[in-house]
Structure 1
């Protein structure tokens, strides 16, 4: 059983309405009214408020602009910090959905050989670690943690997000059951990294 029960329950509820190939136009996460983040460290406010009007401009600084711009229209996204928090939350849900699909694939892989089972197990573990990393990043962001900690946690998430693709690239005789999810989650994580780095540099 997955250690991310809460995330997986949410993911299951969203599966029908939110396909892996979309641009996250359907999901409308409910955020805290405060939005979190923006704590202070050594007298300097981390990820300082830029105003809601900056969100669209920030999305021009990320690699996957459409995914980011869509999130600026979601309820509760009124500041750049809330935009990053929303991106982290959506990415965690997507990663949990991928973990669910891998769990289903593992159960269906009986008889396909130990190589396939081993690869799927490794992929599932990477997505579980990715969900942990994203959730930890949100906690750090919303508790006013340092920008260095946020970037470190997101860098780890970036590694976890590509592990599954790397595993199947190394075994070309095997076919990943979630190629679309892999690409989409990797793009979302990339955007989270870009957003965090861009917000950090703002005056």
Structure 2
């Protein structure tokens, strides 16, 4: 696990840094082929740790180290995305790999390491209600545009941006997404940094509706 995580960290912190020379076509092709193998190896190593004879505190420490490193790498990749110096195909692949590792840890492993609270069992965890999601009648592009507007207008303070992207991906459902589909951090970050003209028009229409409501006033609700 450590070896593959180190390879991933070398890629993100060194080879993809703006200070480095651009990757050659051969290097790009090589990384695109290697990334799924690296992700699968890290996933396999995590499962091996879970079912190993190691003490729980050791396993807990290793798994959460992997998660924290992936979260930090993902934040750096999102900053790289805003800089625009990397090939889009590689940028998306790396972010998808990092998100998949974090999501797998959260989904399958994190509940085993809550300081060993005997009152919390995997069966109870599985039967717990899924987190509430805000259902927006907006596309991902329009949702990103809306959030950028309220941030640049000073209504919301959202730093660092990487945490905002992750929150929107985890907490929102957009128009056109199936119930079980999750917004990817990559897509929300891309839409935030490159606002589409049609998304601006959609948000303008909603802003006009909101202004009409504010001018009209609110009817007192009975509940």
Give the TM-score taking structure 2 as reference length: 0.29
Q: Which has the larger radius of gyration?
A: 2
Structure with bigger helix share is: 2
Output the TM-score relative to the length of structure 1. 0.31
Higher relative contact order (CA 8 A, sep 6+): 1
